[in-house]
Structure 1
Amino acid sequence: MRLKMVRRLVDVNIIYATQPAQLAKFRKKQEKDPTRKVNVSAQSIRTYIFIGLLYLFLFGILSSANDFVSSPGPFVNMITLFALLAISQGLMSFYNVFYESKDLQFYRPYAFSDAEVIAGKSISVILVLLMALLPMISYFIILPIQAGGNILVGLLFGLLCAMILLSILFLGTLFLSHLITKSAIFKKHTSLVSNLIIGLSSLISIGAYLYINMLQSEHSVAGDLVTQPSIFPPIEVFHSFILNPLDSGALLGILAWILLLAVLIWLVKSQVLPHFYDAALEVSSSHAVKERVSQMKVGDQKAFHRFTVSYHKRLLSDGTLLTQVIFMMAIFPYLFTFGLFLGASRASLQIENYLTPQYLLPLSLIAFMIGVFNSVESLTSIGISLERENFAYLRALPIDFKRYCLKKFWILFSVQSALPIVLLVGVSCYFGVHPLSLLAMLLIWFLTSLSLSVIAFRRDYKLLTTNWSTVTDLMNRNRGNAALRGLLIFIFIIVMLILIGFAFYLSAVAFTTLIASAIYLLIAAIGALATVYIYKRTFYKFNQEIGE
């Protein structure tokens, strides 16, 4: 294998893994100074390494607060969580880089070996996954430091365990991806199967996160982290081996992991490398079908409604769209709240006492925060661009295009709102939210979501994109710097949690139910007026822009 050729392949394939918004930023930088060549691949690699090291530092600092030596549960659970996240993101990244890029056929005429192509693409995937892999490594570094003794030897054993686990995760994901793509079902239903896999892996990762969060909250409230159970006990072997490498049980456990690694190496060498290139080429040769509106009968209002609904049923049937946009946006706000509330509930804190109409102010803030996360990058933010050239085609037809766009918005808004409403009602009922409080939260959520959705709908038209290759590309357009965006989201969450905590305190010491209800009605009235103004004003400008 020639490292120079692998490096060239990494330079090419890292572009497929880079967000379109970041690529647009590089292009603008090049336009400002045409004489200075911008090395996109080098800057992308540096960005991924920087973000990965930042996550390593942050999670290393956070990890040092836990006593991993006497409590293997948190150590095992956090490594398991990041391993699941790596697998989930790895499957998506492998599919995007190896198959969605559709570039494998261009390598065959050149002197690239199959191993070099796989190595170049694999390194590109690993660079994207650094933000998941490096935090996992941090736990293997923190444990021997906390254990004391000969820290250098402990770090060597810790890094050895980390490399064993990372190698197993990488080879296992590679073998699993190859096995799936060679199946007859995948070849026949590529989009459906790939999105089911992505959705299932994401669901497992989210479920593990919520469960671990619940365990940590429950045991933190009880003041006992030592007895926290491990959700994947085989990883405890690494904990035992790092602390006591001469223990017979730890040695047998490490040998079992090494044996698993050897089996995966043999499988990849014998089953994947000889056939992977042809299998990936066969999958990547298939092209997505772009549906074009050819006939439509819209002679009356009922026919127009039937056409619009049936057209959007086909438009929204993409699995990635359902998984990444609708499902992930609906469940995201519960990732950092559900486990905390569930742990507090199981610790007998009687949180239902704080979910009555007396606490309408903090509950409204919670509904507002959930509404923001459900709506900022939801279906309405990409609904127009999803049509590709069909949007311009429909616009040229002799129909009431203003009415079509209005109906389109409400279809998109209804579809994107169904799951968030079900989740909000279900979670609220589970924790015992008072019925009146639940209705109040739903109203605040609706006002927040409608305002942000109509703004996003108009913004999608202003950023209309028809040449996107995947829904992921469409979602990532104009997001800007990923690190800055993550920092802003983090700041927003912290500010909202502080406001919610203060509102709970204020409601407990200064508000009666009557006062809380009066304040809520005032806020709801102002919010309703603001929503009506935003809705009418935004659609007025939108209709002017489309020439209606």
Structure 2
Amino acid sequence: MFKNFKNPIFKQVFYFNLLYANPTITANAMKKKQYGDTPEDIFRRLLMKSYLMSSVFVLVVYTLIFLVIPLNKAPYYLDYTILVFFLLCILQTFTYFFNVFYNSKDIEGYMSLPIEESLVYRAKMAVVAIATIQMAIPIWSITSIYGFKMGLGYISILYGFLDFVLAGSLVVIVNMILMEGLAKTSVLSKFKNGIITAINIVATLANISIIVFLQTTSKARILSSQIEGRVEYGFISSLAKSHMGNLGLILVLSLVILGIYALIMKSVNGRFYDYIRKIQDGSGQKKRPAKENMEASHNKVALESISDFSIGSENGSEARIGLGLANETSQTKEDKKGQASGLGFSLFKYNLSLINEPTVITQSIVMNCAMPIFLFLPVLMDIRKEAATLELIRTNSGMAAVIIALVVAIFINAFSTTLSSIVVSLDRENYYYIKSLPISRKQYFMSKLIISTGINSILPMILILGVYIYVGIPVFDIVYALVLYIILCLSISSLWLIYDFKNVVTDWQNVSDIYGRLNKALVFVLTFLIFIVCFAMVMLLSFVLSLGLGTQIRSAFTILILIFAIFSLSRVRNFTKKSGY
């Protein structure tokens, strides 16, 4: 791969895709003219700021975490951790790969140039590989620490680095294979958008099931080995404890990865562009003219279709929006209410049409539900086996219900991939067109808040209700907890929505570009803090239950949520009072 950078054409295509992979940093740098005398300065800045610095930060944090784990006494934990991180990497990057390769609009520019398809393919692979390998950094930490504790010395750091690179490369290869299968499936089907969404959801659920299975079985194996006083090794940990095992594992993985890579690249030319044409504009794909005639009924202020204006949805179809203003003579209060109602419904239908995209459905809706499942499912499976703990929860059902609702609300809404953090940018160029219409900032803001929070809360609400019924929470406590859940969801979503307004991206190539606005180190810190807060709340639940302070803790959480809601409401009021967008 590194020899490709000697090719100036490959280097330029790589840099071009690197810019699209980091739209916010690129736009800010160009706006402030931070790229220096040559454009390559901005590429170096991107690699340093967006990848290298955040990677070092992640490496340090995970090293500190794994240092306190007695890996030499519980080697099987190494296998469990590597498998979980490997599956999470695939889970979080699968749709990103498909978007960059087959759903990016920049690919149309390459088709008319005298550039080999394989060169464009390799350049895109290099960009996504950098982001993917970044996510495998914890493997470097844990394998290095494990080898050092097993007496291999400082060469363990080198073994860990090679394991990290190979694990990241293996994720890339697996994603390439899955992406090829997805591309072929979507090309053969006339329902491409639905097929892609369905496969993404199935892949997500399969990964969740495997990870939950690993959580439960690994915990049982580690506990049994500790009780029996024996050290149990897994396949990876048994090899990684010796020099020969490490070298053999590295050699085999290298050969497998290089072999599969060669097979994939062998058949790229003549097929890559053909798949793209069929996926984006193919004959089997029925184009969806999502015209939104956003008009208010029974009044003179009508939002009528006056032109076809492209929203540019990613599946190749075009959503169109036409709006106009008729002369207004006189309106009664009933007319104004009808206008507001009609406009609100039209905005709702328009916003709903923006969400019908595989990456949005998978990353912003389905994936956000995965984390609470990882956290709660193993705990619930253990609770049902312990009658005393279950009875204790039912005795303090009010506090238990509130903590469960709050943990789910935080997981669903606090991540940077939540629907409310991208719903404005999904408008694309229509964002500027809507600004010129007689729609107030408040109307536009509230329409986005309602649709993003509502859609984002459907699956979590089902999940919460399922947990409550499973545990046996009374109806009053369920209603109380759900009210707090809705308040917290609206509060967090409104802050993300303000962020999206202030950092709107309209020239994105695929939805993954919008997700990449935040600095990766900041995203990691935010994710880490969310896990710490939620884990602390779960631990607090188990501790407080034994003290009988459930009512007091529930009241304290209620007060904190109301304070946060007031803060969010004040931010929203100040933001929506402004005249422009």
- For normalisation by structure 2, the TM-score amounts to 0.72
* Separation in structure 2 between the aligned mates of residue 277 and residue 150 of structure 1, nearest angstrom: 46
AA paired with 1:293? Answer: E
CA distance in 2, matches of 1:381, 1:161: 35
Which residue in the other structure is 1:484 paired with? 522
CA contact (8 A) 1:137 1:162 kept: yes
SS in 2 for 1:173: helix
Q: What's the offset of the Cα at 1:207?
A: 3.4
String of CA shifts for 1:359-391, please: whole Å, max 9, x gaps: 745753553343233334543444444344556
Cα gap change, 1:227 to 1:156, in 2 (>3 Å): farther
2:323 match = none
Return the offset for 1:433: 4.2
Per-residue deviation, 1:87: 2.7
- The corresponding residue for 1:545 is 578
Q: Which residue of 2 aligns with 1:9?
A: 13
Q: 1:110-162, CA deviations, whole angstroms, 9 ceiling, x for partnerless residues?
A: 6654444333322212111122233334444444433336875x888777777
Q: Distance in 1 between matches of 2:142 and 2:76?
A: 12
Q: Is 2:413 the counterpart of 1:417?
A: no
1:217–1:24 distance in 2 versus 1, CA, 3 Å: farther
For residues 206-285 of structure 1, the aligned pairs below 5 Å read 206-217=208-219, 224=226, 237-243=235-241, 264-265=260-261, 267-270=263-266, 272-279=267-274, 281-282=276-277
- Mapping for residues 310-459 of structure 1, pairs under 5 Å: 310-335=349-374, 337-338=375-376, 341-342=379-380, 344-345=382-383, 348=386, 350-356=388-394, 358=396, 360-361=398-399, 364-376=402-414, 378-388=418-428, 406=446, 409-433=449-473, 435-457=475-497
- In the TM superposition, residue 397 of structure 1 has moved relative to its aligned partner by 6.8
Shift of 1:338: 1.8
The partner residue of 1:126 within 100, 105, 129 is 129
Query: Is this contact kept in 2: 1:360–1:520, CA < 8 A?
Result: yes
> What is the Cα deviation at residue 483 of structure 1?
0.9
SS of the residue aligned with 1:420? helix
Q: Distance in 2 between matches of 1:22 and 1:278?
A: 29
- Aligned CA distance change for structure 1 residues 347 and 530 (closer, same or farther; 3 Å): closer
1:151/1:470 CA distance change after superposition, 3 Å: closer
User: CA separation of 1:501/1:157 partners in 2, compared to 1, >3 Å: closer, same or farther?
Assistant: closer
Residues 296, 430 of structure 1: alpha-carbon distance in 2 compared, 3 angstrom cutoff: same
Per-residue deviation, 1:449 = 1.7
> Residues 55 and 205 (structure 1 numbering): CA distance in 2 closer, same or farther, change over 3 Å?
farther
Deviation of the 1:228 alpha carbon: 12
- Residue deviations 1:29-61 (CA, integer Å, cap 9, x gap): 536x97797722222223323333443444445
Measure how far apart 1:72 and its partner are: 5.3
Match status 1:78 vs 2:116: no
Identity across matched positions, percent: 20
Relative distance call for 1:58 and 1:421 in structure 2 (3 A) is same
1:168-218 CA-partner distances (Å, limit 9, x unpaired): 543343244234324464674444344334333333333333333344555
Secondary structure of the residue aligned to 1:453 is helix
Contact 1:216 1:343 in 2 (8 A): no
Unaligned ranges ≥5, structure 1: none
Q: Quick one: which of 532, 535, 555 aligns to 1:494? A: 532
Shift of 1:422: 1.1
- In 2, distance between residues paired with 1:228 and 1:106? 61
SS, match of residue 25 in structure 2: helix
Task: Report the equivalent of 1:509.
Answer: 547
Checking the alignment, whether the CA contact within 8 Å between 2:369 and 2:459 is kept in structure 1 is: yes
* 2:368–2:412 Cα contact (<8 Å) kept: yes
Q: Give me the whole-angstrom Cα distance separating, in 2, the residues matched to 1:355 and 1:462.
A: 43
Secondary structure of 2:292's aligned partner: coil
State the match for 1:472 in structure 2: 512
CA distance in 2 between partners of 1:353 and 1:139 (Å): 38
Of 201, 204, 226 in structure 2, the residue corresponding to residue 202 of structure 1 is: 204
Deviation per residue, 1:280-313 (Å, 9 max, x gap): 5535864997844347472385866764554444
Residue pair 1:48, 1:128 contacting (<8 A) in 2 also = yes
**1:424-460 CA-partner distances (Å, limit 9, x unpaired):** 1223333444554433322221221233334544554
After TM superposition, the structure 1 stretch with the greater mean CA deviation from structure 2, 368-377 or 66-75, is 66-75
* AA matched with 1:355: I
Q: 1:206 to 1:239 in 2, by over 3 A?
A: same
CA distance in 2, matches of 1:217, 1:343: 12
Please give the secondary structure, in 1, of the residue aligned with 2:226.
coil
Aligned-pair RMSD on alpha carbons?
4.8
Q: Distance in 2 between matches of 1:532 and 1:510?
A: 30
**Secondary structure at the counterpart of residue 30 of structure 1:** coil
Of 101, 106, 127 in structure 2, the residue corresponding to residue 103 of structure 1 is: 106
Match of 2:173 in 1: 171
CA contact (8 A) 2:170 2:257 kept: yes
- Is residue 71–residue 228 contact of structure 1 (8 Å, CA) maintained in 2? no
* Aligned residue pair count: 529
3-state SS of 1:298 partner: coil
Counterpart-to-counterpart distance in 2, 1:526 and 1:85: 33
Q: Residues 463 and 110 from structure 1, CA distance in 2 versus in 1: closer, same or farther, beyond 3 angstroms?
A: closer
Q: Is the 8 A contact 1:364 1:444 kept in 2?
A: yes
